Amino acid sequence: FRLDGGSASGSHASLTGLPKLDFSYLAIDHADGPLSSLRVHSAFGIAGTQPGPADRLRLIAGVSAGLPGQTNTVSLDGTTLVPAAIISTLGNTQLQPERKRELEGGFDAEFWHGRLVLSPTAYWDTRSNALIQIPVAPSVNGGGSIWKNIGVVRDVGVEFAASATVIENRSLSWTVSGYYKTDR
pLDDT digits (tens, 9 = 90+) for 90-100: 888 888 889 99
Within its chain, how far is the Cα of 29 from the centroid?
Answer: 36
Alpha-carbon distance of 38 to 172, in angstroms, equals 27
pLDDT at 8 over 60: no
Which stretch of DSSP H or E encloses residue 161? Answer: strand 145-168
Instruction: Write down how long the chain is.
Output: 184
Q: Is the pLDDT of residue 31 over 60?
A: yes
Residues 121 and 55: their CA atoms lie apart, in Å, by 35
pLDDT single digits (tens) 132-160: 998 988 877 677 788 999 989 999 999 99
